[in-house]
């Protein structure tokens, strides 16, 4: 199952989106990106242990919002794509989310 297309026109990180909220404040930008990364790690851990649909949806939906809030477009899109999946698909979906997070985190480091 494919959760996100590698040829997606969406950027991993839309720095301009975040800049609208930080007004060029690099310390605020760093703080927001660090908070999003902490949230991502928590949500990915919750996804790995989700025992029911409610827990799965809470983790994916929370991460989707956190990602989109800072301009992590692809990560938000992957979370949206996996949010309503059946439990049998959760392990592969969690790996896809984790992969998107690692790519996004690397992009944050370069910004």
Domains and CATH numbers, the chain: 15-110 (1.20.120)
DSSP character at residue 24:
T
pTM, rounded to two decimals: 0.91
Q: What's the mean per-residue pLDDT of the chain?
A: 93
- Sequence-distant (6+) residues with CB within 8 A of 2 are none
Of 87, 86, 60, which Cα lies nearest the Cα of 75?
A: 60
Tell me the two tokens of residue 31. Answer: 């703080």
Question: How many residues does the structure list for the chain?
Answer: 111
For residue 79, pLDDT over 70 is answered with: yes
**Integer Cα distance of 18 and 98 in angstroms:** 22
- Residue 6 has a pLDDT of 46
Compute the average pLDDT of residues 29-36.
Answer: 97
Torsion angle in degrees (nearest 10) through CA of 58, 41, 66, 76 = -80
**Integer Cα distance of 30 and 101 in angstroms:** 16
């Amino acid at each position: 199952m494919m959760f996100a297309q590698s040829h997606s026109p969406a950027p991993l990180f839309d720095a301009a989106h975040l800049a609208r909220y930080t007004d060029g404040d690099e310390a605020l930008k760093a703080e927001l990106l660090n908070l999003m990364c902490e949230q991502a790690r928590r949500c990915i851990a919750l996804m790995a242990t989700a025992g029911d649909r409610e827990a799965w949806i809470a983790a994916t939906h929370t991460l989707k919002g956190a990602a989109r809030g800072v301009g992590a477009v692809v990560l938000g899109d992957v979370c949206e794509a996996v949010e309503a999946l059946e439990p049998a698909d959760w392990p592969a979906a969690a790996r896809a989310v984790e992969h998107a997070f690692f790519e996004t985190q690397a992009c944050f480091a370069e910004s």
